[in-house]
Amino acid sequence: MIMTVAGHADFEERIRNSFARQGAMETLGAELTRISQGVVEIELPFDLKLTQQHGILHAGVISAALDSACSYAAYTQIEPEVSLLTIEFKVNLMSPGRGERFLFRGEVTKPGSNIIVADGRGYALSDGPAKLIASMTSTLMVVRGREGISE
Amino acid sequence: MIMTVAGHADFEERIRNSFARQGAMETLGAELTRISQGVVEIELPFDLKLTQQHGILHAGVISAALDSACSYAAYTQIEPEVSLLTIEFKVNLMSPGRGERFLFRGEVTKPGSNIIVADGRGYALSDGPAKLIASMTSTLMVVRGREGISE
Amino acid sequence: MIMTVAGHADFEERIRNSFARQGAMETLGAELTRISQGVVEIELPFDLKLTQQHGILHAGVISAALDSACSYAAYTQIEPEVSLLTIEFKVNLMSPGRGERFLFRGEVTKPGSNIIVADGRGYALSDGPAKLIASMTSTLMVVRGREGISE
Amino acid sequence: MIMTVAGHADFEERIRNSFARQGAMETLGAELTRISQGVVEIELPFDLKLTQQHGILHAGVISAALDSACSYAAYTQIEPEVSLLTIEFKVNLMSPGRGERFLFRGEVTKPGSNIIVADGRGYALSDGPAKLIASMTSTLMVVRGREGISE
């Protein structure tokens, strides 16, 4: 069983603090734009420093943002004193990462006391409708009392 | 059937040029350290700007380096005039990305004229023996004559 | 671009014919219970011949049913004269496959003229509410004019 | 840390007993052909009852055999009193499953006290050299003291 956290303000603050400690998110220019029960969104603007050789968003950047979105979505559903580790994920790249801005949403598919499964979707945002560029399925392990992995 | 490329010097130069155009690889501080038939290695030093909240390498950084290594490994086995797109990959994170330096090796498992499958492994390098931190299986599509995705 | 098929009856018949030729689906006792644009469902009753050592549904059986559901979902969105090949899939096993009956739904997430991505979910059905037991993300390739793979 | 099992005979017998309880393996006509430290092989003959609509081995059958091979490979590296659950796997289908007989090898890539990662390969065997038809990466969880999942 998953103990529900005390309230929204609580996990929101913990997630914001954790996110702020992610050097990689700062490097990507990413920001947290939504934190709610089981759902977290991260956005980042297009930047040439994030591209692969075709001038589109590198798959690793997409993975980084989706992994963080999925992990923090799971984070809304664990007790404050435990940690999460991403064990593995799969990413499908569906359309080239072209756009002015990108949105990455992570959502918990299956909560659990040991293993949590989350799914994520990435979208390119420009003038028109949002375009689905990628999906992720991520498996996370709940870690209790292991030193050095405190959130 | 896969047409073999003219020679080592040929794909090596094309891969080096392509890699140099990857803004993301520069952002990661990554460099190409081995290019051979079906195998490519990329290395990068630890940097706080590449970390997640526990101070270890972000899974997205690991994915970026493994994706590039796998893609360029596949790139050694295609004709010069075609391109490759990563369709999807799966990453397993086996040990925390702690170390002074990291090595990512991509290797072609199954060549093909339409679909290429490559496997990658990531290692943390410190004083002791290299430590396996992650693996990737990547599926790539060979793209012919599509504009705007030229290598 | 994907040419839409002439109508529901058309792909429904082709899918039923194709399904009937799947020896594996007969071996599993599976039946097609829903065929609609982009969504296909397959059901099968629990049977001891489909179990692993704990007496629950074998992950391979779950994979078989989800793969067929995802593939036929994609099949509703291709031209009649082309074929589909599953290139790869990922399965997450979320709860033990216990139940009287199981439902597997495949749904197209990203249509395409070369690559189609579908997602599937498997549920255990008993007296209570349906229980999510597994998910799949599947990547399919549209195959044109290759002999011996006719549907 | 993983406690090593008492000896070869020990895990071999436990694996054979467990395999014999897998209804699905009997349904597939599969047999255990190799059990060694960290490596297990399963073979099965071609049979029309295992096919998809093109008359080749169904991807679900390939998944079932690879999952069992990977799981039992992991099983050689756990203590006798614990169990294993497959959390997830990814399968790449590289060549059509045509042949007289098929060999599936599972191998532990990363042992662990909580999570074990195994990789598998499937081969079609006919007159010529073995042909690689599929690969799997599988993530398994070590389960202690949970009722109803005893091996």
Q: Do C137 and A132 touch (CB under 8 A)?
A: no
Is B114 touching C (CB cutoff 8 A)? yes
Instruction: Give me the interface pTM, i.e. the ipTM.
Output: 0.90
Identify the segments of chain D with pLDDT beneath 50: 1-7, 147-151
What single string gives the DSSP state of each residue in A36-104? ETTEEEEEEE--GGGB-TTSSB-HHHHHHHHHHHHHHHHHTTS-TT-EEEEEEEEEEE-S---SSEEEE
- pLDDT tops 50 at residue A1: no
Work out the angle between the directed axes of helices D8-20 and D59-75 (0-180°, nearest 10).
150
Pick D102 or C148 by higher pLDDT: D102
pLDDT digits (tens, 9 = 90+) for B43-93: 999 999 999 988 999 999 999 999 999 999 999 999 988 999 999 999 999
Closest-CA residue to C109 (of A94, A102, A137):
A94
Q: Which domain holds residue C22?
A: 11-143
Residue B47 lies in a domain: yes
| C-alpha to C-alpha distance for B64 and B94, rounded to whole angstroms | 16
Q: What is the mean pLDDT of chain A?
A: 90
Is C112 touching B (CB cutoff 8 A)? no
Residue C2 lies in a domain: no
Q: Do B92 and D132 touch (CB under 8 A)?
A: no
B125-136: average pLDDT: 95
Q: Where are the beta strands (DSSP E) in D37-129?
A: 39-45, 83-93, 101-110, 115-125
pLDDT band at A146 (very low <50, low <70, confident <90, very high): low
Q: Do A139 and D141 touch (CB under 8 A)?
A: no
| C-alpha to C-alpha distance for A111 and A77, rounded to whole angstroms | 7
| C-alpha to C-alpha distance for C48 and C62, rounded to whole angstroms | 14
**Chain A residues with beta carbon closer than 8 angstroms to that of C122:** none
Residue D38 lies in a domain: yes
CB atoms within 10 A of CB A24: 26
pLDDT of residue A148: 44
pLDDT band at A149 (very low <50, low <70, confident <90, very high): very low
B113-132: average pLDDT: 96
pLDDT digits (tens, 9 = 90+) for A10-20: 899 999 999 99
Give residue for tokens 């569906």.
A94
Q: How far is C105 from chain A (nearest CA, A)?
A: 15
pLDDT of residue A151: 38
Residue B63 lies in a domain: yes
Is A65 touching B (CB cutoff 8 A)? yes
Give residue for tokens 């990689």.
A24
pLDDT band at A28 (very low <50, low <70, confident <90, very high): very high
Residue pairs spanning B and D at CB distance below 8 A: 36
**Chain C residues with beta carbon closer than 8 angstroms to that of D25:** 58
| C-alpha to C-alpha distance for D38 and D108, rounded to whole angstroms | 5
Q: What is the largest CA-CA distance in chain B?
A: 47
Pick B32 or B149 by higher pLDDT: B32
Residue D6 lies in a domain: no
Count up the domains in chain D and report the number. Answer: 1
A88-99: average pLDDT: 96
Q: Where are the beta strands (DSSP E) in B9-49?
A: 31-36, 39-45
Is C149 touching D (CB cutoff 8 A)? yes
Residue C128 lies in a domain: yes
| C-alpha to C-alpha distance for D48 and B47, rounded to whole angstroms | 55
Residue D81 lies in a domain: yes
Supply the CATH number for residue C41's domain: 3.10.129.10
Using CA coordinates, name the residue in chain A closest to C114: A94
pLDDT digits (tens, 9 = 90+) for C53-81: 889 999 999 999 999 999 999 999 999 88
Closest-CA residue to D68 (of C60, A88, C93, A139):
C60
**Hey, which residues 125-144 in chain A have their CB within 8 Å of chain D?**
139, 141
pLDDT digits (tens, 9 = 90+) for C7-44: 455 899 999 999 999 999 999 999 999 999 999 999 99
**Chain B residues with beta carbon closer than 8 angstroms to that of C90:** 90
pLDDT digits (tens, 9 = 90+) for C71-127: 999 999 999 889 999 999 999 999 999 999 999 999 999 999 999 999 999 999 998
**Chain D residues with beta carbon closer than 8 angstroms to that of A90:** 90
Residue D30 lies in a domain: yes
Q: How far is D148 from chain C (nearest CA, A)?
A: 7
| Sign of the CA dihedral running C34, C35, C39, C40 | positive
pLDDT of residue D81: 87
Cβ(B58)–Cβ(B47) below 8 Å: no
Report the neighbours of B using a cutoff of 3 or more CB pairs below 8 angstroms.
A, C, D
Q: Which two tokens stand for residue A84?
A: 């999460």
| Predicted model pTM | 0.92
